Amino acid sequence: MATVIVARTIGGATETAAQLNNSCFARQVALPASWAHIRVGIRYHFGAVPSLNLYGGIFALGFCSGTTNLYGDASTTHFAGMQIGGSAALWTFYNVSPPYQYQTASANNVFVVKVATVVTASTTFLSAASNYVAAGAQQASADRCMLFLDLVKGSPNYTFTVPFYLGTGVPQDATSDQFLGYMQQLTPAPTGYTTSTNALPMAVSEATNGYFNAASVYWNQTGNWVLEVCDFAVAVLA
């Protein structure tokens, strides 16, 4: 299926979002050749079937070379980012009342580099299970969350970091202005999230596999488990 644009009325205001139905999308960005630290972030919420667990959900966020042959496609030009879930991963329905959430084991949170059909994964970047607000998209609820991925350039290893994650907290609904404000902070620490300091190195060769000039998102579920991305941004921090 394809990524489509949807509009919902949330809190009395119209919100336009990219809805992923077993699909991926990318946006081209102009990164300076001298960049040392870049970030991609989304403001999002999932759809959900209340009380039902999800099996095999795979989410990916990161930087890529070009806007075709993305992570989630059969062959990928060059992708570096994060993956949550996996083909055998269990996403456990966590909250029995709104805001509904899914929880997935720490082992299902890894950094990845994909070139062609070869995926190289790191060890887990979390020490505990992580939660992701689930029900808002389908119910037009004000429960949009934020997720960032940072890359620091090195040779040959780049350093991958997720500055914060939801953990077991229930943060307030994030506005677009709040999201863009945190995107520009070197060490963002939004209320309700858990700070992550587990930065991991991975070998990346843009010269060999393709220079990063786009950012992309992938989600392999559909139906009631759609992912809606309300904001999508890139920041050059150094």
- For 17-86, the three-class secondary structure string (H helix, E strand, C coil) is EEEECCEEEEEECCCCCCCCEEEEEEEEEECCCCCCCEECCEEEEEEECCCCCCECECCEEEEEEEEEEC
Smallest CA-to-CA distance from 235 within 34, 28, 41 is with 41
pTM score above 0.85: yes
Using the CB atoms, write b or e for 161-182: b if 16+ within 10 Å.
bbbbbbbeeebebbbeebbeeb
Is residue 105 within 8 A of residue 129, CB to CB? The reply is: yes
- Rounded Cα distance between 77 and 36, Å, is 22
pLDDT tens by residue, 39-93: 999 999 988 766 788 899 999 999 999 999 999 999 999 999 999 999 999 998 8
pLDDT tens by residue, 3-42: 889 888 888 889 899 999 999 999 999 999 999 999 999 9
CATH class of 4-236: mainly beta
Element of type H or E holding 190: none
The mean pLDDT value for 211-217 works out to 98
- Rounded Cα distance between 237 and 138, Å, is 34
